[in-house]
Chain A
Amino acid sequence: MKFFSDVFHLLGRQWRLTSRMPVFLVMSIVQPIVWMLLFSQLFSKAMAAGFGEGYVQFLAPGIAIMSSLFGSGYAGMGLLNDIDRGVMDRMLATPVTRIAIILARVIHTGATAMIQSSVILIVALFLGARPKSALGFLTVLAAAALLGAGMGGISHCMAILTRKQEAMFAVMNFTMLPMIYLSSTIMNKGLMPNWIKNVSTYNPVDWAVTVARSGFEGKVWTQTVGEHALALIAFTAVFSFLSTQAFKRYRAAM
């Protein structure tokens, strides 16, 4: 089917573009590693109590999810670049499946998040973190990929709605940091104020972190993981769909 081959070829384009930006590649890996080192040092004394096997063990899946969030939030930038440069027009003048243009980007965002998070987990191994099972390790990657794709969807929606890189940046910056702090990414739920705990129930980042952390601890087949994974899948599906709708609107307005 043309749809699948279109997605495949456009994904190939994305990989190529990403792989030829070595600085971007290196930074997207180095940054979360720095966070992990920084947070684990900064909070080492404060976190001595209440984190069982140590803070790094707790932090590793959290940072994997955090990097997925930050890596995906600006994904819409590439789309704006294509639009501004006329590359989008060139593609739209071909019989390429319209929906493939946007879905290839969303999939690429999720896949990139997955690769990033796997590198982060490997680094975490050296810092002393230990996933309790191979399946647990994969669960973290899956959660990162889902959150990445969903955030990629939001980012592409924002890019199309604002049509300005600066505006898209502002919106995403404004949402992403609170999403981290209103979740259990770096803080144990038991140590959170009640209101944050309540808010975090509605936060996709927290869903992803909950799935990732439970998995990392080897508790994959649990109700908690099931519920949060479902919510996360719904989140990803909804925003992937919305990004295709936003793109439809963009094309109709031309």
Chain B
Amino acid sequence: MNNAIDVRDLTKTYSGGVQALKGLTFDVREGEIFGLLGPNGAGKSTTVRIIVTLSGATSGEVLVDGINVSADPQEVRRRIGYVSQNTTVDFLATGRENLRLQGQLYGHGGAELDNRVDELLRLFDLAEAASRVTQGYSGGMKRRLDVAMGLVHRPKILVLDEPTTGLDPESRAVMWRELERLAKQDTMTILVTTHYLEEADRLCDRLAIIDGGRVVAQGTPRELKATMRGDMVQVEIAEGHSVEAARDLLNRTDGISNVIVEGRMVSSQAMDGARMIPALIAQLETAGLPVSHVSMSRPSLDEVYLSITGKSFEKADAVGGKKQ
């Protein structure tokens, strides 16, 4: 079976000299939901833009459904539905008009297109608003229309760039439910980039973590989390006391590894967290380092990300460059 998307040794250097991708390799299998994770500036959008034929690679190869993106972009475009980061609906057109035009650009028309448009309007809960100009749509509605527009030509592969960014939590939940349903109903392949690790964890069959233009980890969420043994233990050191001293103490403690300081929080990995914590607190208090907060968790993708890149996802995101 062909892979839906094959990305091999992809590099991209922008004309300004910025090297956005430094040899990216991953593959997306048919029918799966594949997540591309990473902070802004990691190269997610650049990768997506090359896959959907909007941008050319500097070197490397991308095959979509076995077709080389640079050799036959038109064929690739017919197979892919693309939903970009910001809403791209025409504000002065109605929902139905937006969908129709999108279908027409793919060469569809007539009753077949009308039916498809009606179907999508129903599916995305936009039937009632179909004849209204989209200017008055809510953010969530516009986003749903964006996705519907990406599907109007029944693509084999749907590529979504940050479909939930900027949405309120409720619309976000709705969006991910839609995607889950799409993936189940059709034999569609979905490639999605996201910021939200929990969502990726819940939704994606497999994912790749990108950092600095490279894939730094790849696998199912379970596989990725399995690389993290033990529990995650976070202790917050009370104001006015040395976090560094606490870090050194933890580093010297048996059964504790991967100690990382973030603000007043010291995160670490413990072989047996529940048994470890009381002793740990006692040790810190004895050393004159009062603990103001303790928590323990099973490793999440966030911890995977943290251990791979040495920075927490939120942090990396904040310092990451503006997206291309």
Contact = CB atoms under 8 A, between A and B. Distances in A.
A6 B49 contact: no
Nearest to A252: B56
A94 B77 contact: yes
Given A9-B105, A96-B105, A253 B84 contact: no
Contacts of B109: 5
B77 A20 contact: no
B90 A13 contact: yes
Given A89-B84, A95-B74, A254 B49 contact: yes
A230 interface: no
B160 to A, nearest CB: 12
Contacts of A45: none
A95 B88 contact: no
Interface in A92-112: 92-96
Interface in A62-115: 85-87, 89-96
B149 interface: yes
A90 B84 contact: yes
A17 B101 contact: no
Given A16-B92, A86-B88, A91 B54 contact: no
Interface size bracket, B side: 20 to 34
Nearest to A2: B107
Contact of A9 (B55, B56, B78, B104): B104
Chain B interface main SS type: loop
A253 B106 contact: no
B246 to A, nearest CB: 46
A95 B55 CA distance: 15
Nearest to A6: B105
Interface string B76-111: 011010101111101011000100011011110100
B90 A87 contact: yes
Interface in B107-127: 107, 109
Contacts of A85: 86, 88
A218 to B, nearest CB: 41
A91 to B, nearest CB: 6
B53 interface: yes
Contacts of A5: 104, 107, 109
Nearest to B55: A254
B52 interface: yes
Contact of B92 (A17, A86, A93): A17
Interface in A1-53: 2, 5-6, 9, 12-13, 16-17, 20-21
B90 A17 contact: yes
Contact of B77 (A16, A21, A93): A93
B93 A93 contact: no
Contact of A93 (B15, B54, B101): B54
Interface in B233-262: none
Given A254-B49, A254-B55, A93 B107 contact: no
Contacts of A89: 49, 54, 82, 84, 88
A254 B102 CA distance: 22
B277 interface: no
A230 B85 CA distance: 47
Contacts of A254: 49, 54-56
Nearest to A19: B92
B306 interface: no
Contacts of A9: 101, 104-105
A82 to B, nearest CB: 9
Contact of B82 (A2, A16, A93, A96): A93
Contacts of A92: 53-54
A2 B86 CA distance: 28
Nearest to A90: B88
Contacts of A95: 74, 77-78, 105-107
A93 B90 contact: no
B92 A21 contact: yes
Contacts of B52: 93
B239 to A, nearest CB: 45
Of A2, A13, A252, most B-chain CB atoms within 10 Å: A13
B133 interface: yes
Contacts of B82: 89-90, 93
Contact of A87 (B49, B55, B88, B104): B88
Given A94-B105, A94-B106, A95-B105, A16 B86 contact: no
Given A17-B93, A20-B92, 5 more contacts: A13-B90, A16-B97, A90-B149, A93-B84, A254-B54
